[in-house]
């Protein structure tokens, strides 16, 4: 019976996306609201990155993973190609773990 919740979530997701497309031209948001929505999205993304990087279960994830994420973030900020960002972040984390940095 797991198919029912999956279908409900899929239908809800489709309704939100389709509704956004239909309502886009019906009203306009003030510039301040657009700025706040943009800032809110960035804050949520940073919070997700922080929690997934720094925590593993209920404990600290160690220093290798945050270092890899920092390298990836720095390269992304410098507009490196996506493949380079991912490979450098993974290599940094793997090499630090290989060196014994937890």
Q: What pLDDT is recorded for position 92? A: 97
Q: Does the reported pTM lie above 0.75?
A: no
Q: What pLDDT is recorded for position 15? A: 93
For the chain, the average pLDDT equals 92
CB atoms within 10 A of CB 99: 8
User: Over 80: is that where the pLDDT of 1 sits?
Assistant: no
pLDDT average, residue stretch 85-98: 96
Q: Encode pLDDT of 25-55 as tens digits.
A: 888 889 999 999 999 999 999 999 888 889 8
Among candidate residues 77, 76, 75, 56, the one with its CA nearest the CA of residue 65: 56
């Amino acid at each position: 019976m797991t198919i029912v919740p999956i279908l409900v979530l899929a239908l809800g997701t489709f309704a939100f996306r389709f509704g956004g497309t239909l309502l886009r031209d019906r009203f306009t948001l003030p510039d301040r609201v657009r700025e706040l929505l943009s800032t809110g999205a960035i804050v949520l993304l940073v919070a997700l990155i922080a929690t997934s990087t720094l925590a593993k279960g209920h404990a600290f994830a160690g220093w290798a993973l945050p270092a890899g994420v920092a390298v990836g973030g720095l390269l992304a900020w410098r507009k490196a190609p996506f493949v380079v960002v991912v490979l450098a972040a993974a290599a940094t984390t793997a090499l630090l773990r290989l060196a014994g940095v937890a």
